[in-house]
Amino acid sequence: MHKRYVIYLVGPVLVCSHGMGGPSISILLNEIAKLLKYANADAYWIRMGTCGGIDVVPGTVVISTESLNGALEPYHETIVLGKRIQRPAVFDEDLSTDLLDVAKGLKLDCAIGKTMCCDDFYEGQGRLDGAICHYTETEKFEYL
């Protein structure tokens, strides 16, 4: 049986595992938003997962203030009915600050910053460890 994602309800928290990348999370966001609408439920959306960090030690928990697309712009872009649609990807500042305080209270190595979401895990984010890599480390850092 093929599953799009897995959902768990833990107290008042709905936890979903959506797989990898922007395309799979777009399915989840649409379907969970519809579910929450019919349930008349207000919610904060928090995504947890891997991301590359710039100027942070590997393993640092980065609490995002906004998400950047592959063009390093703070919005999600999609094509709907042949038209490019841009939706802001700026996050709730109070929630980001609260999450940072919790992470510090847990003594986690943490920082606040921007994160990136692309449709391609390797090339779209300028990773150097993929099977296809037609750019140099210098080019990667010029881009970032």
Q: What is the pLDDT of residue 89?
A: 87
- Please name the residues in contact with 123: beta carbons below 8 A apart, sequence gap of 6 or more: 130, 132, 133
Query: What value does the mean pLDDT take over residues 106-120?
Result: 87
Has residue 18 got a pLDDT over 80? no
Q: How far apart are CA 63 and CA 47, in angstroms?
A: 10
Highest mean pLDDT among 51-55, 116-120, 127-131: 127-131
Where along the chain do its domains lie?
1-43, 48-143
Highest mean pLDDT among 33-42, 44-53, 112-121: 33-42
Token pair, residue 11, equals 């107290």
* pTM given for the model: 0.75
Q: What is the pLDDT of residue 52?
A: 66
Q: How far apart are CA 119 and CA 76, in angstroms?
A: 10
